[in-house]
């Protein structure tokens, strides 16, 4: 252990304290190195970082503007979509109303035509009825004349007249 303590003493006496010339030389070399680094590396690096910072800021600003534009366009598209839906709904309502009006118009027209056909049929029936009555009256008159003629030609007695009328009525009934 003695030996170790001797060696440490030698180091402390001769080598632990810095050499002042070496220290000043290293200090000057370090200052010169920092000067050249500042001039040749630091300034270009600062300029590069400033340009890069500007590019990043511009890109962020562009992204923010693009995002705002996208939101604005989204709102516009949503408004247009809402308006289109409302227009479609209005068109459907109008179409339904028009179809309903047309249907009612067709029904009213069909009812008018049906009423006209019924009226014409009733008139035709009345006309036929009048014609039948007229013809029936004509036939009754003819028959009455025939009966009267037979009665007059064979006017013999009352029983015979009754028999003639019964015979006439039987002929008419057939």
What's the pLDDT tens digit per position in 102-140? 999 999 999 999 999 999 999 999 999 888 888 887 777
The reply to whether 51 falls in a domain is yes
What single-letter DSSP state applies at residue 17?
A: S
Torsion angle, alpha carbons of 55, 60, 61, 65, to 10 = 140
Q: What is the pLDDT of residue 10?
A: 67
Is 70 exceeded by the pLDDT of residue 5? Answer: yes
Higher pLDDT, 142 or 86: 86
What's the domain range around 69?
A: 14-173
Q: How many domains does the chain have?
A: 1
* Chain position carrying tokens 């590019």: 55
pLDDT given at position 4:
74
Q: Is the pTM of this model over 0.85?
A: no
């Amino acid at each position: 252990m003695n030996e170790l303590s001797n060696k440490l003493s030698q180091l402390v006496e001769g080598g632990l304290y810095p050499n002042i010339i070496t220290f000043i030389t290293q200090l000057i070399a370090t200052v010169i190195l920092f000067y050249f680094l500042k001039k040749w590396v630091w300034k270009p690096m600062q300029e590069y970082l400033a340009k890069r910072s500007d590019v990043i800021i511009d890109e962020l600003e562009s992204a923010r503007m693009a995002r705002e534009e996208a939101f604005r366009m989204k709102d516009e598209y949503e408004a247009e979509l809402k308006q289109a839906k409302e227009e479609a709904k209005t068109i459907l309502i109008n179409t339904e109303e028009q179809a309903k009006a047309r249907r009612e118009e067709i029904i009213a027209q069909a009812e008018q035509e049906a009423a006209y056909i019924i009226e014409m049929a009733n008139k035709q029936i009345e006309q036929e009825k009048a014609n039948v009555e007229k013809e029936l009256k004509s036939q009754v008159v003819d028959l009455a004349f025939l009966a009267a003629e037979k009665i007059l030609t064979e006017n013999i007695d009352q029983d015979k007249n009754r028999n003639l009328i019964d015979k006439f009525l039987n002929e008419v009934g057939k």
